[in-house]
A and B are shown apart, each in its own frame.
Chain A
Amino acid sequence: MGEERKRPDIAAGRLSAEAYAANFADLHPPLNRHQALVEAERCYFCHDAPCMTACPTSIDIPMFIRQIASGNPDGSAATILKQNIMGGMCARVCPTETLCEEVCVRNTAEDLPVRIGLLQRYATDHLFAGGEQIFSRAEPSGRSVAVVGGGPAGLACAHALAVAGHAVTVFDSNPKLGGLNEYGIAAYKTIEGFAQREVDYILGVGGITVECGKELGLNISLAELRDGFDAVFLGLGMGGTNDLGIEGEELEGVHDAVDYIAELRQAEDLASLPVGRRVVVIGGGMTAIDIAVQSKRLGAEDVTIVYRRGQEAMKASRYEQEVAQTSGVKIKHWAAPLRVLGDCGAVAGIEFAYTESDDEGHLKPRGDRFALEADVVFKAIGQTFLPDCLNGSGAMPALEAGRIAVDESRRSSLPDVWAGGDCVVGGQDLTVAAVEDGKIAARAIDAYLRAKAVAA
C-alpha cells in the first residue's frame, strides 16, 4: 500500500514471451474438419436465406455451407470468393453477430446460429492452403484503370477489373497493400500474416501492377491519373482522426488509437511496444474496443473505455463489447471527457463529466464529475475523410457531408472517377461493405470501358 509508482508508468515488455503469444493468438481458433462438418450439417439450406440477404456482398451462404458438407471445401471457397474476394478476411473480421449470424433461422429455433463466419474461414483457409488460383483473366481489353488505395474497396475493385481483362494499377501510400486489413484490424483477428496472404492471392490473378509509396496529392494527382488511365477508382479510406477538442490533449501520452494499432500490427516483436499501466480509451466503436483489448493483452493493468452515451448506442457490437469485458476491460457509459490532466507535460489522468440524454435524445452534462488516473489516453472517437488530397490543378469530385459523393454505381461527379469504402458518403466502416463498393464500382467501370470501346 502507498507504494510510489513511476509516473507516467509506460513500459514495454511487461509480459513473458509465452503470455504475448497466448494473448495474440487467434481470437477464434479455426474449425477443424470434424467441427466444420458438424456445423455445416446444422444449416437448413434455407430458401431466400436471411443470412445471404444480411451479407453486404450477398455471399451464397447456404450453398457454400452445403459444399462444405458435401466434401467440396474448395468449391465452397469459390462460391464465397466469387461474391467477395476478401471472404477470407471477412470470415475473420465481420461482425457476423450483427450480419449473417444475427438472422440465422437457427436463432429462432434454438437461439444458436450456424457459425457462418467460422465455416467461411474453414472453406477459404482450405483453398488458400492449397494455393489454387480459381480466377482467370478475360482477354486483355486494352483499357487501363488506376485504383488509388489498396484497402478492401480498392483491392476488390482491382481484382474484379483484372478478371474482366483490364490493366489495373494500384497506388498506395503505405509500404504494403491491404489498408486497414494490414494496418487497422486487431492483431488477434488476423494472425500469421493473413492480410498479406490474401493480398497475394488477389494479385495472383495477374494484370494488377502495384505502386506503393504513392500518395494522392503528394506524389500523384487525380488529374494525372485521369489523363493516364481510362478510369479511376478512389478507395482512399479515412486519413484523419477526430480530436477531443479539450484541454490537455497535447500532453505526452495522448494518442490516436489508429496510429498505435498500425504500429502494433507492424511490430516485429510485441514486447517492444510500450504500453501504459493505466489506459483510458475514449470512444464507443470498434477502434475503441480494439485498442482497449490490445492494450490489456499487451499487459496494461487497468483499461477503461469511456463512452458518452449508453451501452445500446455503442457502435461496437454487443459481442465485441463482451470480448472487451471478458478480456478485463472496463466499460463506463454516460461520461464525456472534460480535460486531460497532466503532470510535467505527461498525462496523469482525465476528468469526465457525467452525461445524460434529454427528452429529444440530445446529450447534456448531468452536472457532476469524476476523474480517472491514466498513463495513456487513446482517442477513438472516429475518423474523417481528408479531401485535400483531391485538390490539384484539375477538377475535384463533389463532396457530400465531407466525403466523396457517389451514385448507386459508386460513380463520383466526375464521369471517369468512381469511389468506394470509407471515403464515400454512407461508408460503413466495414471491410465487407468496402468490398461490395469495390465490386459494384468495378462492374460499372467495366461497362463504361466496354461502351467506350464500342463508341471508339
Chain B
Amino acid sequence: MVDISSDFVGIKSPNPFWLASAPPTDKEYNVVRAFRAGWGGVVWKTLGEDPPIVNVNGPRYGALHGADRRLLGFNNVELITDRPLDVNLREIKQVKRDWPDRAVVVSLMVPCEEAAWQKILARVEETGADGIELNFGCPHGMSERGMGSAVGQVPEYVEMVARWCKQNTRMPVLVKLTPNITDVRHPARAAKAGGADGVSLINTINSIIGVNLDAMTPEPATDGRGTHGGYCGPAVRPIALNMVAEIARDPETQGLPISGIGGIETWRHGVEFMALGAGTVQVCTAAMAYGFRIVEDMVEGLKTWMTAKGYSRLDEVVGAAVPNVTDWQFLNLNYVVKARIDQDLCIKCGRCHIACEDTSHQAITATVNGERRYEVIDEECVGCNLCVSVCPVESCITLERMTEGVDPRTGQEIDPDYANWTTHPNNPNRAAAE
C-alpha cells in the first residue's frame, strides 16, 4: 500500500496536490468545493492591505488554444484578492477549522515595509493557517506598484522580506518566485538566505496572448486597450520544470523544499515536478479549465504509478531525477543514436521526411523504389530527435543506440567509454589530460 501523504516544511496534507494561489482559492465556497473533491491543500489567493485592490471590469483572461480548442496556454490580468481582508481571514479560519487535515497556506503581498508585514502576519497567524507564501511573482498590475514580481526580481528584497517574515511569525514561510528573471537561482538563494522554509515556483510569465487584428489591440482588451498578463497552463510547464531543477541541483540551495507549479494537468505532470525535486505541487489552470474533479485522476494515477514502480512513500520519488540533470558540457559525446522508423506503425504522412529534408540533415527518404516510404539514412542521421518529435504516431520513430561498430555518418568506431566536451580535442579550453 502506497502512502501519498505529504509533510512539506512541516505542513501536512493527505496528498501532495495543492491548489495554487489564484482565482480558484479566493473564497471559502471554492476552497470547500476543492477539499470535497479531494485536494490535499490550497494556497489561499493573495491577501493584501485594505482597502482591497480593484479588478478591471473588462475581460481578465485570454487563451492560447491548440487543436480542437484544447487550452494550452492561459493569460490573466487579475490582481490579488479584491475582497476585504477581514472577510478573507474569517473564511480562512473557518475553513482550517472545518478541514484540519488539509493544508491551508495563505499567500500574502503587502508593500516592502516591515511594519506592513508585521501587521498582516499577526492577523494571518490568528486564523490557524498552516503557513504563508510570499507572492513575489505576480507580473502584472501589482508589480507596477512595487510589489509582486518587482520584489521577486531583486534578490536583496527577497531576502529582506523573507527575513522579516521569519522574524515575525512562527508559521513556515514559502517564497513564491517569478520566472520573469534571468537566473532563478539568485532569488532562490536569497530566499534561503532570508531563512525561508521553502520556495514555490513558477508564478506566471509576462505575456501577450494574441492580437486582435481588426481592433489592433492586444488580447484581452478593455475598452480598446490591453496590457501584458501572466502566462500559465500546459505551455509553461517545461519552463517551470527547468527552474525547479535548477534550484534543486544548485549546491547553494540543494535540499531547499520546493513546491512545484506550472501547467500541471495530470498525475504524470505532478510526478515530473516531484522527480525534479518538488515536495508538493500546485495547480491552477487545469482546475480552471476542467473543474476540481481532476484531482481524482492525480491521486489515483500517483498511487497506481507508485505501486507499479515499487515506491511506497513520496520522499522516495522527490528528487529522484535530480542527479541526472546536468550541464551540457557533461553530456556523453560518445553516445550515438540513430532514428528507426517502425514501418508497421508508419502512416506515411511524410512529416519526418520533410522536417529532416528542409530543416535538418537529409537523413530520411521520401520514396524507396518509387513507393512512398520513409527510411532513415544512417550515413546522414545525427540522432537529433526532430523526426520523433514531429511524428503523429507515438513510438513509430524511436532512437536506438549504437553500441558497437562504426558510425556510418562519421566513419568512426563507436567508443563505449564516456567522454564529454570538457576533454574534447575541439574544445580550446579543454582540461589537460590527466
Q: A63-B296, A66-B294 are in contact. Are A72 and B301 (CB under 8 A)?
A: yes
Count of chain A residues near B, Cβ 8 A: 19
33-70 of chain A: CB within 8 A of chain B? 33-34, 37, 41-42, 45, 47, 62-63, 66-67, 69-70
- A75 contacts B70, C-beta separation under 8 Å: no
A71 CA / B305 CA spacing, docked (Å): 10
A66 CA / B303 CA spacing, docked (Å): 16
A75 CA / B297 CA spacing, docked (Å): 8
- B300 contacts A41, C-beta separation under 8 Å: no
A239 CA / B225 CA spacing, docked (Å): 75
CB distance from A64 to the nearest CB of B (A): 9
A45 CA / B266 CA spacing, docked (Å): 13
CB distance from A369 to the nearest CB of B (A): 55
- A72 contacts B394, C-beta separation under 8 Å: no
- A47 contacts B296, C-beta separation under 8 Å: no
What are 15 residue pairs bridging A and B, where the CB atoms are less than 8 Å apart in the complex?
A34-B345, A34-B393, A45-B290, A45-B293, A63-B293, A66-B266, A67-B300, A70-B268, A70-B301, A71-B301, A72-B300, A75-B300, A75-B301, A75-B303, A78-B300
A422 CA / B189 CA spacing, docked (Å): 70
Q: A72 contacts which chain B residues (CB < 8 A)?
A: 267, 297, 300-301, 304-305
Is A182 positioned at the interface, with any CB of B under 8 Å from its CB?
Answer: no
A78 CA / B304 CA spacing, docked (Å): 10
- A67 contacts B394, C-beta separation under 8 Å: no
- B393 contacts A70, C-beta separation under 8 Å: no
Chain A residue with minimal CB distance to B393?
Answer: A34
Is A290 positioned at the interface, with any CB of B under 8 Å from its CB?
Answer: no
- A41 contacts B70, C-beta separation under 8 Å: yes
Chain B residue with minimal CB distance to A62?
Answer: B293
A369 CA / B268 CA spacing, docked (Å): 67
246-260 of chain A: CB within 8 A of chain B? none
CB distance from A79 to the nearest CB of B (A): 8
> How many A-B Cβ pairs are below 8 Å?
48
Chain A residue with minimal CB distance to B293?
Answer: A63
Is B291 positioned at the interface, with any CB of A under 8 Å from its CB?
Answer: yes
Known: A45-B291, A45-B293. 20 other contacts (CB 8 A): A33-B394, A34-B394, A34-B395, A37-B394, A41-B68, A45-B294, A63-B293, A63-B297, A66-B266, A67-B297, A67-B301, A69-B266, A70-B267, A70-B268, A70-B301, A71-B268, A72-B267, A72-B300, A74-B304, A75-B301
Q: B297 contacts which chain A residues (CB < 8 A)?
A: 63, 66-67, 70, 72, 75
Interface residue range, chain B: 20 to 34
A45 CA / B294 CA spacing, docked (Å): 9
A232 CA / B222 CA spacing, docked (Å): 68
CB distance from B237 to the nearest CB of A (A): 14
Q: B266 contacts which chain A residues (CB < 8 A)?
A: 66, 69-71
Q: A45 contacts which chain B residues (CB < 8 A)?
A: 290-291, 293-294
Chain B residue with minimal CB distance to A45?
Answer: B290
234-282 of chain B: CB within 8 A of chain A? 265-268
A66 CA / B70 CA spacing, docked (Å): 14
4 smallest CB-CB distances across A and B, nearest first, come from A70-B266, A72-B301, A75-B304, A75-B300
Chain B residue with minimal CB distance to A74?
Answer: B304
285-335 of chain B: CB within 8 A of chain A? 290-291, 293-294, 296-297, 300-301, 303-305
A70 CA / B304 CA spacing, docked (Å): 12
A74 CA / B267 CA spacing, docked (Å): 14
Chain A residue with minimal CB distance to B345?
Answer: A34
Q: Which residue in A42, A47, A67, A79 is a CB contact (below 8 Å) of B291? A: A47
A239 CA / B293 CA spacing, docked (Å): 44
Chain A residue with minimal CB distance to B300?
Answer: A75
Q: B345 contacts which chain A residues (CB < 8 A)?
A: 34
Q: B393 contacts which chain A residues (CB < 8 A)?
A: 34
Residue of A33, A41, A66, A72 contacting most chain B CB atoms (<10 Å): A72
A74 CA / B308 CA spacing, docked (Å): 10
CB distance from B394 to the nearest CB of A (A): 6
Chain A residue with minimal CB distance to B396?
Answer: A34
A66 CA / B291 CA spacing, docked (Å): 13
CB distance from A135 to the nearest CB of B (A): 15
Q: A75 contacts which chain B residues (CB < 8 A)?
A: 297, 300-301, 303-304
